[in-house]
Amino acid sequence: MDLDTLDLFDATVLDDPTPLYRTLRDTAPVYRVPGTDFFLVSSWKAVTEATRRPAEFSSHLTGVLVARAGAAPVTFDLDATGQGLHVLATADAEVHSVHRGIVGPALAKRVRGLGPVVTALAERFWSGELDGDRIDWATGMADRLPLALLAELLGLPGEDVSRLLTLAYDSTEMLGGVVAEDRMPALIASATELAHYAYLAVTGAKRRIGSPRTLLDALVAAVRAGTIDEPQAVLILVQLIGAGGESTAGLIASAARLLATGPALQSRLRERPDLIPAFLDEALRLESPFRGHHRHVLADTRLDGVDLPAGSHLLLLWGAANRDPVAYPDPDVVAFDRPRGRAHAAFGAGAHFCIGSALARLEATAAITLLLERTESFTLIDAEPPRWVPSLFVRRHVTLPLRIICR
């Protein structure tokens, strides 16, 4: 692949970014996208170093790289005034610690004992979506299970899940850089609707009396205690809904696709279901659900020998770093016995390591265990090839039709 003629948003590159990742790692681990202030960071060394320098590389989401038809990409400024409100995943230092201290313990408390609930939800979706010998694993299971469980944890009405799924995916579509001009008004409307929904949910929860029962109650309790204010609580809820299901949905579908194209892997896991956790870590490493996350450069500095001006942007490519042979020998194959199998960067790294990683593992384990237990085999369908979401930000399936041979 020639970086001089690279089109980051070419459909072939978005569908299979592995050749791009390899070229970037080998030739330009910190690569400036021509004509922009965006740098792609691809090697394990450079990505992990950046996560360890939060004083220079802020987690504030201040800009995204956007494709333009027939022209070079541009940076879309998300914080022109520099006064944007950043919460949880996009907050820095003490603010991030405060928000994580509210959500983390509340989430951990509720994850314990959720196993039966997750299994019941997965079985319900399987029964409802299996159509003869066919199921669309992406739309029928991977998309639905995470947000249904998130609604349960937050205390949101189950009947809202379908609409929230649309709003959540619209919000991450805006960050993916591939938005048709006539699509933008609908995405802006979705972002507005999601913010209004979160505001109503927070204000409604404030009227409840009693000890916190849900994650939403925990946010409201923090508002009452003066730890955060109401706008922060609303934006934290928006972030939980908007991104809470992405990583899990990506994992559940990508893991199934790896198995559908690897009958030997299916057989191995049916014989040794205790290997499913190790397999899921390999699925996370090989097809990182978030292709990368953004960093804002706070001062003139250098990374891996490359000058970075203040105000520029980094995209830390988890997916590229996770296939770096320096960190993972023979990186393109599934191996159950990697010495540092859980040390991948699919859930981020450092202080911003994914707060919902344990929940994602729980859901993916339930879904993949069910898929293996209920089938003798499953494959892709030649006439209905799966499709990826066209995005520079997420690695998730739009569709994943599977042909099922049930037990």
pLDDT score of 87 more than 90: yes
Q: What is the mean pLDDT of residues 292-297?
A: 95
Strands 293-297, 38-41: pairing is: unpaired
What's the CA gap between 238 and 354, in Å, rounded?
Answer: 16
* Cα distances (angstroms) measured from residue 329 to each of 22, 92, 251, 264, 340: 14, 33, 22, 21, 11
Sequence-ordered list of residues with C-beta below 8 angstroms from that of 233, at least 6 positions apart, any chain:
202, 219, 220, 222, 223
Among 227, 156, 150, which residue's Cα sits nearest to residue 197? 156
Residue of 397, 385, 395 whose CA lies nearest to 289:
395
What the block records as the tokens of 116 is 């039966």
Indicate the class that CATH gives domain 3-406. Answer: mainly alpha
Q: What are phi and psi of 344, to 5 degrees?
A: -65, 170
Which pLDDT score is estimated for 330? 95
pLDDT for 320 equals 97
Mean pLDDT within 29-57? 96
367, β-bridge pairs:
none
Across the range 365-393, mean pLDDT stands at 97
Contact 8, 65 (CB under 8 A): yes
The C-alpha atoms of residue 35 and residue 33 are separated, in whole angstroms, by: 6
- List, in sequence order, the alpha helices (H) in 93-143: 93-111, 115-129, 137
Give the model's pLDDT for residue 81.
Answer: 74
- 3-class secondary-structure state, position 388: strand
How many whole angstroms from its chain centre is CA 126? 23
pLDDT tens across 308-353, in order? 999 999 999 999 999 999 999 999 999 999 887 789 999 998 888 8
- pLDDT per position as a tens digit, 95-141: 999 999 999 999 998 888 889 999 999 999 999 999 999 999 999 99
Q: What is the mean pLDDT of residues 390-397?
A: 96
Q: Where are the domains of the chain?
A: 3-406
First-last CA distance in the chain: 44
DSSP letter for 290, please: B
When pLDDT is cut at 50, 70 and 90, the band that residue 211 belongs to is: low
- DSSP β-bridge partners for residue 285: none
DSSP string computed for 173-209:
HTTSS---GGGHHHHHHHHHHHHHHHHHHHHHHHT--
Predicted confidence at residue 207, as pLDDT, reads 85
What is the predicted pLDDT for the residue at 76? 87
With cut-offs at 50, 70 and 90, classify the pLDDT of residue 2.
Answer: confident
> How far, in Å, CA of 212 to CA of 175, rounded?
33
Q: What is the mean pLDDT of the chain?
A: 93
Which is it for strands 293-297 and 301-303: parallel, antiparallel or unpaired? unpaired
Q: Is the pLDDT of residue 302 over 80?
A: yes
Structural tokens at position 257? 């696709």
Residue 166 has pLDDT above 80, yes or no: yes
Q: Which whole number is the average pLDDT over 136-151?
A: 96
CA dihedral (383, 266, 261, 142) positive or negative:
positive
Determine the Cα–Cα distance for residues 405 and 377; give it in Å rounded to an integer: 5
Q: Which amino acid is at 27?
A: T
From CA 153, how far away is CA 182, in angstroms rounded?
35
In three-state secondary structure terms, 52 is: coil
DSSP string, 307-338: EE-TT-EEEE-HHHHTT-TTTSSSTTS--TT-
Q: What is the pLDDT of residues 193-205, one digit of tens each?
A: 999 999 999 999 9
Environment class of residue 332 by beta-carbon count within 10 Å: exposed (0-12), middle (13-18) or buried (19+)? exposed
